[in-house]
Structure 1
Amino acid sequence: MTNAAARTEQIIEQPGRVRRLRRLVEATADGIWPAIDLTRPYVDGTENLPRDGRFILVGNHTQTGMAEAWLTCLSVRRITGTRVRPLTERGMGSMPGPIGDVLAACGGVVGTPENATKLMQNNETVLVFPGGGRELGKFKGEEYQLKWDGRAGFARVAIANDYPIVPVGHVGGDDIYHSVVERDSFLGRLTEKVGQAITGKADMTMPLTRGIGPTLIPSPQRMYLRFGQPINTRQPAGVTDEDWVSTVKASAQTALESILHELQDVRSEDPFRQLNPLAWRHALRPPTAAS
């Protein structure tokens, strides 16, 4: 067996040290939910989650980077009892040593077609953010915008493995910090040039931001999560492979954009959106929770 094949096998049959860490991670996740629940995360659409765990979640990144991943994974675990396997950037997913073990224990897997296929062949729940790191750096006016840049790999692998796609939108993370400049402004273009000089990637630039007032203290925000209806990826007769990939990708993007618009409308009417304790009892709840 080649080294690459061995690494792919290990995402299912994880080493003993990772399995032990996984038990600790899951116990911690279950234990901290009461504390998370004090912030009353707005989570709805859970009835759309296939109970067999065999689906791929397609979501949006916010400036926090991790809040949406954690809330999604914890919510799915509470509803279906299954572990979510996030597909990560190569640099993060292949980190060596203890950090890499912790990421693996949390379910993280390097986001390659081979790894995604292996997970799907094992009927695992998969999570992907097609925008990747490009969605972390939001300039003024870019909040909750998808930056997929034509990426359709998630659709291709879902189709190949007959995996339904569940769009999952997250709102709240892009309100913790706010960019102070627009991308096309003088300071915005200068920031992009500096970012490209440092990282080699202009689309990964982190803009100048502020939190509470003019400071970098993060602004407390309620988190909003919505799971959309599953998208069937089974290819109809007479439709070419590439046309079907494009159709599925466009359907997922349209559904996710609609969810993000809906959640922003919900947030705008929520008196608890900034975690004001005086408004705790008046926090808007999803229809299923309110009924």
Structure 2
Amino acid sequence: MKNAAARTEQIIEQPARVRALRKLVEATADGLWPAIELSRPYIDGTENLPHDGRFFLVGNHTQTGMGEAWLTSLAVRRAIGTRVRPLTERGMGSMPGPMGDVLAACGGVVGTPENATKLMQNNETLLVFPGGGREIGKFKGEEYQLKWQGRAGFARVAIANDYPIVPFGYVGGDDIYHSITPRDSLLGRLTEKLGLAVTGKPDMTMPLVRGIGPTLIPSPQRNYLRFGQPIDTTQPAGVSDDEWVQTVKKTTQTAVENILRELQDIRAEDPFRQLNPLAWRDAVQPQAAVS
């Protein structure tokens, strides 16, 4: 118990080596931003981010896995100067050695209720993908679908700490590769069985995919990111705990799904959606960015 408490304390007061590495990570990210801007990422809704940094970002995973976490965290820090603390699955968040230090320097912590509560008590900005790894491997027709079945922990911990939730959506990552088969096809079912045999988890399947043409070369895609309006998690009088948890979860999921539909509509009309250099000047931009 003492060691567990010490590890929990270290997510706030990180070791000196991690603090030094954090400075290097942030300097590198800032140095790379001009190059990132050349791809003109579509970033909208930053005016919805509470400037005190006291909020919980909740959004969708795509095939890129870490790409959306990285862009979301960087966009928040550039908008309001706040460090984002991604909540990760236990295997990734507890990696030993240099890789674990890099993840910690990027703000990552194991996504337990205890760790989330500690961060909220310190008024930090948190980020979570309730679908976890289940949203990374998508079969044909599952692009940008949320897989939050049974995942309400984010709502429960936000309510317990009176923390507002900022829903966000990320589009582009599920277009880098395209699944070849639907989940219920023969190949799809075989892939699921193979995934279960390898990982022991039926929802962690990696389907057969293609990139450019029939190859595995990734298809260039523009990134689209939108932050929605904060969701108040203050529990009303007369509403049971379980009922309010489910209400907050459903409200958040609906908000993310609406954002994803809006971004896909924007992407469909964007001549720069596949990073065609000839269409760079015609890239669709958020209304607030139009001078």
TM-score interval for Structure 1 and Structure 2 normalised by the shorter chain: over 0.9
1:156-195 map, 5 Å:
156-195=156-195
Matching of residue 145 in structure 1 with residue 150 in structure 2:
no
Give the match for residue 284 of structure 2: 284
Q: Which residue of 2 aligns with 1:136?
A: 136
The CA deviation at 1:104 is 0.1
- 2-side partners of 1:191 and 1:83: how far apart? 38
Of stretches 176-185 and 1-10 in structure 1, the one that deviates more from structure 2 is 1-10
1:3-22 equivalence runs, <5 A: 3-22=3-22
What is residue 120 of structure 1 aligned with on the other side? 120
Secondary structure in structure 1 of the residue aligned to 2:203: helix
1:54: which partner in 2? 54
Distance in structure 2 (CA, Å) of the matches to 1:162 and 1:80: 21
- Whole-angstrom CA distance in 2 between matches of 1:127 and 1:175: 23
* Partner in structure 1 of residue 207 of structure 2: 207
Q: RMSD across aligned C-alpha pairs, in angstroms?
A: 0.6
Cα displacement (A) at 1:266: 0.2
Mapped to 2, the partners of 1:26 and 1:10 lie a distance apart of 19
- 1:238 maps to a residue whose letter is G
**Equivalent AA in structure 1 for residue 172 of structure 2:** G
Alpha-carbon offset, residue 203 of structure 1: 0.7
Supply the distance in 2 between the matched residues of 1:191 and 1:82 (Cα, whole angstroms). Answer: 41
Provide the identity percentage: 82
Report the counterpart of residue 107 of structure 1 in structure 2.
Answer: 107
Query: What are the superposed Cα offsets for residues 114-171 of structure 1, whole Å, 9 maximum, x if unpaired?
Result: 0000000000000000000000000000000000112100000000111100001000
Specify the code of the residue in structure 2 equivalent to 1:142. Answer: E
Q: Can you give the 5+ residue segments of structure 2 that lack an aligned partner in the other structure?
A: none
Structure 2: how far apart are the matches of 1:80 and 1:163?
18
SS of 1:168's partner is: strand
**Matching of residue 232 in structure 1 with residue 248 in structure 2:** no
In 1, the alpha carbon distance for the partners of 2:25 and 2:186 equals 45
* Secondary structure in structure 2 of the residue aligned to 1:226: strand
Within 2, Cα distance between the matches of 1:217 and 1:75? 27
- Tell me the distance in 2 between the aligned counterparts of 1:68 and 1:238: 38
Q: Which amino acid aligns with 1:91?
A: G
CA distance in 2, matches of 1:94, 1:285: 39
What is the correspondence of 1:6-45 to structure 2 with a 5 Å cutoff?
A: 6-45=6-45
Measure how far apart 1:68 and its partner are: 0.5
In the aligned structure 2, how far is the partner of 1:120 from the partner of 1:244? Answer: 19
Residue deviations 1:41-86 (CA, integer Å, cap 9, x gap): 0000110000000000001000010110111000000011010000
Q: How big is the shift at 1:89?
A: 0.7
Asked if residue 268 in structure 1 is aligned to residue 268 in structure 2, the reply is yes
Indicate the SS of the match to 1:204.
Answer: coil
Distance apart, 1:208 and its partner CA: 0.2
Separation of aligned partners in 1, 2:31 and 2:244: 43
SS in 2 for 1:218: coil
Q: Distance in 2 between matches of 1:70 and 1:220?
A: 17
The alignment's TM-score, normalised by the length of structure 2, stands at 0.99
- Distance across 2 between alignment mates of 1:160 and 1:138: 33
After TM superposition, give the deviation of residue 215 of structure 1 in Å.
0.5
Number of residue equivalences: 291
- Look up the equivalent residue of 2:275 and give its one-letter code: L
Q: TM-score of the superposition, structure 1-length normalised?
A: 0.99
CA distance, structure 1, for counterparts of residue 270 and residue 150 of structure 2? 34
Runs of 4+ aligned residues of structure 1 deviating over 2 Å after TM superposition are: none
Partner Cα separation in structure 1 for residue 69 and residue 210 of structure 2: 23
Distance in structure 2 (CA, Å) of the matches to 1:150 and 1:95? 26
User: Shift of residue 29 of structure 1?
Assistant: 1.0
**Which amino acid counterpart does residue 245 of structure 2 have in structure 1?**
V
What is the identity, as a one-letter code, of the residue corresponding to 2:230? P
Quote the Cα distance in structure 1 between the aligned partners of 2:240 and 2:208. 45
Give the match for residue 256 of structure 2. Answer: 256
Q: Deviations over 1:209-266 (max 9, x none)?
A: 0000000000000000000000000001111111100000000000000000000000
CA distance in 1, matches of 2:193, 2:150: 23
